[in-house]
Amino acid sequence: MTTTMLRKSVLGIAGLAVAGGLAAGPLNHGTPTIDTRPVAAVQADKPAVDTLIPHGVQGEQSRIDLNDEQTGNVKAIIAATKKAGMDERAAVVSIATALQESKLENLGHLGDRNDHDSQGLFQQRPSSGWGTVEQITDPEYATLAFLKGLKQVDGWQDMPLTKAAQTVQVSAYPDHYAQWEQQAADLVAEHWNS
């Protein structure tokens, strides 16, 4: 065997050992593993943009940084959407609505700053029949209640997000939901399969 062939064989074996170690992950459970799949495989796990935003976004988009509680609420909305048997687009509409209504914070009664008796992620009102205070401040219940309303909107899948959300919410600011569509879609893409 020539020196060049021997070097290629050793490097090839060393390369397999390194790649195998990365794919298997480190033994220390406190250290994150590296996803060694091709980028196309990782992207295939995410819902397609045309599924999440079939009509494109409308108007200027807003974005906020999320803390752990808000991210947990995103995951709760996605889980409830799946439980309701609805798709990724329904999750985008739900998350955009919650971003507008509460910035994804599960709000209790805000005293003088409260809009009537609105509470929870979707600022639902017990006096309007959304449920008890305990129910509407439960992220799963609140999301399922919102989705129940969304299912009753004929053709919601073909509507711009802000119209679908407004039909359920009946907000004094009906166009404000649209500004959160891109961030909501990004959050669904990130967390739908996690």
For the chain, the domains span 3-36, 48-191
Q: Say if domain 48-191 classifies as CATH 1.10.530.
A: yes
**Which among 128-137, 138-147, 171-180 has the top mean pLDDT?**
138-147
* Residues 1-18: tens digit of each pLDDT: 544 444 444 334 344 333
Taking 3-state DSSP, the helix, strand and coil percentages for the chain, each rounded to the nearest 5, stand at 60, 0, 40
Residue 25 has pLDDT above 70, yes or no: no
Instruction: Give the pLDDT band of residue 173 (cuts 50, 70, 90).
Output: confident
Instruction: Give the pLDDT band of residue 110 (cuts 50, 70, 90).
Output: low
Please compute the mean of the pLDDT values over residues 150-167 and round it to a whole number.
Answer: 95
